[in-house]
Amino acid sequence: MLSLGHDHPFTDHHPKNKLRRAARMTIAAAFYCTDGVVVCADTSEETDYTKRDQGKIRAFKNGDETYVFTGAGDADLLEVAMEEIVESRRHREKTSSYEWKNALKRDAAQIFKDYIEPCSGFREHDRIPQMSMIASIQVDGRINIFRIRDTLVRKIKPLDHVSVGVGNLLATSLIDRHLKGANLTMEMTVRLGSYILERVKKSVANCGGYTEFYRQGVDGSLSPGYASGWGAGMAGLDSATTSLIYTALESDDAMFDKALGNLVQQVKNVRTAFVPDSRLRWTQFIEEVPPTPSVSRKSKQAR
């Protein structure tokens, strides 16, 4: 377990003891839905010498509030930043959904001061930890998505999306094409979002592994899953998309009817293939945030 205090995780900076930190060369994204938010990410994590599958999304339940985080950059810094943000919530009064941006800006500034700024004097760029984080915050039946990049915090507009990582450019292009302004449920978005991530992992270096996702409902529900078994659905969807173009361009009526029949069958195959994989791997679970002692005393006095 990483420390929640201010012990610096990147203190060994002597040239003879150069750190080999894990880098999350990630593709991760978050999407607004009609009934909540879907957060998804790949699971590939690399150091200079090794590569492994590692879950990159963390979900926390703090009373009736839920927080889901993911991101790209230095793995240690991301883990510490997530825990620091959650820990700060335990020691502050309840924050409304409208006040969360300012609270996150304060957290980001403190994280930068404690963990990034002390490394800024080193000449070698790879010694300076970096992060680009997605934070999805559910408070009082409202969910807001934020992007945190060092000290910058941007609130994502409703019905929009955000993606981070090395596959960001391709992901943004695909999301704009398939999801821009869409008003979909979480269940539909999980499938379409996983398809987009599969396309990115296939085309962009350093993205890979499984596709991990969390459904975060406006009602406070959290539901994790993996899309590891959807390969056939991804290929089928690509094939159906291509067939749709050919079908629309077909000038012969008989050939058009035949192509239309093939397209219908392909779409049915896609629906069959997109069955959620309910198996949980690694540390994919909901983390309960314990209340502070002062909060517990206030609750007892209120009773």
The DSSP result for 225-285, as a single string, is EE-TT-HHHHHHHHHHHHHHHHHHH--SHHHHHHHHHHHHHHHHHHHHH---B----TT-S
Residue 284, pLDDT score: 54
Q: Contact at 8 Å (CB) between 229 and 276?
A: no
40 — pLDDT class (breaks 50, 70, 90): very high
For residue 109, pLDDT beyond 90: yes
Residue 137, pLDDT score: 95
Q: Contact at 8 Å (CB) between 21 and 10?
A: yes
Average pLDDT over residues 110-133: 78
Top-confidence range, 86-100, 128-142, 180-194 = 128-142
Residue 26, pLDDT score: 77
Query: 172: Cβ–Cβ under 8 A, 6 or more apart, which residues?
Result: 163
Residue 2, pLDDT score: 36
List the end-to-end C-alpha distance of the chain, in Å, as a whole number.
35
Residue 71, pLDDT score: 92
